[in-house]
Amino acid sequence: MAKVLLNDCSPDASQILTDMLKDNAEVVVEPFSEQREITEFNLVILYSESGDDQNILRKIKNLHFRTKFRNIPIILLKAKSELFSDQPYFNFGVSEFMALDEPQPIFNQILQGYLNPGRQPLERELIYLTPFIESTKNVLSKMALMEPEFKGVYFKNSLRILGDVSGVIGLSGPTEGTVIITFLWKLAQRVVANIMTVKENEINAEMIHDGVGEIINMISGSAKKSLSAASYDFQLSIPTVIVGWGHELGHPDNATIAVLTFDVGDQAFVLHVSLTQK
């Protein structure tokens, strides 16, 4: 059964949501906590009655950090519909903005949609995903002396990246697409420090920029060798690095975007793989 976390919900909101979800999910009602582990949940709903936008955005960003890049939607819920710009909330990690005064059938349908489990990779997708999983683990193990643990894969339709720094490499030729590795800043700093065999406090932004670019280059180059034997032939572009929370990247039209999640100790990173054979 799915598991839903309700944060900061009023008694009325908690009752309404529990009644809607009780047949399909276990509901946990708690005040917001910056330390609460949330990777056990399938959905998080944050309720807000106040107009303190900065505090709400801080909570949203904290929740997103604690998803560890898992496919855990975050819904921001308010008591009444309002006319205002919701873009800042989406930029910080909200998947949906909802209000309790919306028609209940629509409200319930949206909630149930987020609880539907995502599809598993097809056999033909595993042919190209597995080399990227293995090359990611091998590169970080050999170069950064870390043992990343692959946690799973899910699929999405956009390349909006909610992380601090991404290394991007394009693929062209008979197979085209993109491969992107995304870190939060603290883990990127640790990875690059290990690669350069220096202390973390000696790593600056330029070093992280160069290091993340080299990491995605090595991962893609290693995977390319295995994929050539499976008829996925492509050339690698020069890697680029993008810094800044909530950046967006393009991808080939109609391409499937696989999101591969990895844990490193108490932190996480993610690899986006989008491949299309012409």
10 Å CB burial of residue 204 (0-12, 13-18, 19+) is exposed
pLDDT score recorded for residue 162: 83
Residue type, 94: V
State the amino acid at position 49 in one-letter form: E
Angle between helices 205-228 and 185-196 (to 10 degrees): 80
| Residue whose structure tokens are 């990779």 | 121
Residues of the chain with pLDDT under 70: 50-51, 83-85, 158-159, 250-254
Q: What is the pLDDT of residue 66?
A: 93
Burial of 87 (0-12, 13-18, 19+ CB in 10 A): exposed
- What 8-state DSSP symbol labels residue 201? G
pLDDT of residue 247: 74
The DSSP H or E segment spanning 29 is: strand 25-30
Query: What pTM does this model have?
Result: 0.91
Q: Where in the chain is the domain with CATH 3.40.50.2300?
A: 2-115
Is 89:60 a contact under the CB 8 Å cutoff?
yes
CATH topology of domain 123-277: Chemotaxis protein chec (3.40.1550)
- Domain(s) of CATH 3.40.1550.10: residues in the chain: 123-277
Residue with tokens 């990127």, as numbered in its chain:
188
pLDDT in tens, 93-103: 899 989 888 88
**Does 2-115 carry CATH code 3.40.50.720?**
no
